[in-house]
Structure 1
Amino acid sequence: MTETTHPASRVADRVAASDWGAVAGELDAYGHALTGRLLTPGRCRAIVGLYDQTERFRTTVDMARHRFGSGQYRYFTHDLPGTVRELREAFYPQLLPIARDWAAKLGRPAPWPDSLDEWLAMCHAAGQAKSAQILLRYGPGDWNALHRDVFGDMLFPLQVVIGLDAPGADFTGGEFIMTEQRPRAQSRGSSTTLPQGHGLIFTTRDRPVASARGWSIGPMRHGVSTVRSGRRHTLGLVFHDAS
């Protein structure tokens, strides 16, 4: 199956139409937030169909081999499919104010320029020059261990995963899970069922947490629970490149 063509503005319009005030509030409170529907079922199926077009990817990772869990994912080359490129470009300016706000709260540098292209050029100059956009495939019994997508010093604090299959119809299980390490307390966990065509924005590494002394760091990790049946595909959008 090849990717179908749609007006580029449709994807950008759907990203922009999200209630970004509410999204920012959810991210501040929990470290993750669902968007509305971004992709139609047809466009989701078109992206899933790219998985077997191996020339579109720079590498394939078998999770069990590396003890990351079970399942498989592929990193796109820099020649991204149109929909993937449009989504990434549409999300960056919406996420940028949140990233800068978090950096200010934590007293960290905020090196991210207004332009995604300029930020990626900075990544490449620092030795992070490989595409980090991911298409993931899980079957029955597959899962993803808790982890962070940190590939070097150049880091954007938010990323997005988009569901490409319909939970309950195409697969069961496979919830997106996050854990947050709390200071002087046990970790807190959460799970999200990712609807087809919707995005989940989540913390790459950590988030600011209000405390009696101001703002502290809340380290977070993400993964995927065991898929019970069917096949689950997701698209991962990362806003920094890999080393």
Structure 2
Amino acid sequence: MTIHSISTKRATRSAEARVAAQDWGALVGDLNSYGCAVMPALLSPEECAEIAALYPHEEHFRSHVVMARHGFGKGEYRYFRYPLPDLIGGLRTALYPRLAGVANDWNERMGVAQRYPADHATFLQLCHENFQTRPTPLLLQYGPGDFNCLHQDLYGDLAFPLQVAILLSQPGEDFTGGEFVLTEQRPRMQSRAEVVPLRRGDAVIFAVHNRPVQGTKDHYRVNLRHGVSRLRSGKRHTVGIIFHDAK
């Protein structure tokens, strides 16, 4: 069975079940403490292979970006077109409500007025009213020597403050190097780096831009960027789930 032979309804139910099975108390605790959290085995090895195999087929994608042409690093990625593959769309829908509560709590602690609706369809409607209509989930491909510079995926005025990346390849077998890296730029302090170990099928939730940190008197915000270290050998595929659409 391929990813496209699963009905949208079945894929959504499957996504909701596997998202609900995660330890959300621990995940939210890690997000609040470190700005990232790992969901183990969100996808099966077979699902990882099926998604990675979509990469050469242009009919699934709206655009193709070669990073070196834009100074983003080395490697390439493709943005999916609508309709998204059922499993990716289902995960995007199922993950959003779990993360909207975290996003609203963070904004309240940072004194940011923006609040996010409880369901993803309503949030996407807000994006589209803001002329952000292009889908942002993407499939990334790295080869030897490739890397992704530290960056933030904002894409427009309305940006959801958390996103998810799922590793589709097996470290040590399919590739070496290529670690997911997150950095925090703290006011009047040196930056902190976080290297997140992942296995095939694991997903990392992470802050896109800012997150709150408790200071001596009140919360303050830190600025985050994410990237991928240099691939030493092999090939690495990742799917990124970004919850806001782009202009």
TM-score bracket relative to the smaller structure: over 0.9
Aligned to 1:82: 86
The alignment partner of 1:65 has SS state of helix
The alignment partner of 1:52 has SS state of coil
Alpha-carbon offset, residue 78 of structure 1: 1.6
Provide the rounded CA distance (Å) in 1 between the counterparts of 2:72 and 2:40: 30
What root-mean-square deviation, in Å, do the aligned CA atoms of Structure 1 and Structure 2 show? 1.3
Which digits, 9 at most, give the CA deviation of each residue in 1:95-147, with x for residues without a partner? 11111110111111233112211111111111111111110000000000000
Equivalent residues of 1:4, 1:43 under 8 A apart: no
Deviates further, 7-16 or 57-66: 7-16
Equivalent residues of 2:4, 2:86 under 8 A apart: no
The alignment partner of 2:3 has SS state of coil
Give the TM-score taking structure 2 as reference length.
Answer: 0.95
Q: 1:98 aligns with which of 93, 97, 102?
A: 102
The alignment partner of 1:37 has SS state of coil
Equivalent residues of 1:92, 1:239 under 8 A apart: yes
The alignment partner of 2:68 has SS state of coil
Aligned to 1:147: 151
Aligned to 1:175: 179
1:52 partner letter: P
Alpha-carbon offset, residue 193 of structure 1: 2.3
Provide the rounded CA distance (Å) in 2 between the counterparts of 1:131 and 1:109: 25
Aligned to 2:3: 3
Equivalent residues of 2:144, 2:233 under 8 A apart: yes
Tell me whether 1:73 sits opposite 2:102 in the alignment.
no
Give the TM-score taking structure 1 as reference length.
Answer: 0.97
Deviates further, 98-107 or 138-147: 98-107
Alpha-carbon offset, residue 79 of structure 1: 1.1
Tell me whether 1:200 sits opposite 2:204 in the alignment.
yes
Provide the rounded CA distance (Å) in 2 between the counterparts of 1:182 and 1:136: 29
Alpha-carbon offset, residue 4 of structure 1: 5.8
Aligned to 2:43: 39
Tell me whether 1:49 sits opposite 2:53 in the alignment.
yes
Alpha-carbon offset, residue 11 of structure 1: 2.5
The count of aligned residue pairs is 243
1:3 partner letter: I
Equivalent residues of 2:77, 2:138 under 8 A apart: yes
Aligned to 1:241: 245
Q: Which runs of 5+ in 2 are unaligned?
A: none
Q: Which runs of 5+ in 1 are unaligned?
A: none
Q: 2:119 aligns with which of 111, 115, 123?
A: 115
Deviates further, 107-116 or 206-215: 107-116
Alpha-carbon offset, residue 10 of structure 1: 2.6
Aligned to 1:58: 62
The 1:4/1:81 distance shift into structure 2, 3 A limit, reads: closer
Tell me whether 1:12 sits opposite 2:19 in the alignment.
no
Percent identical among aligned pairs is 48
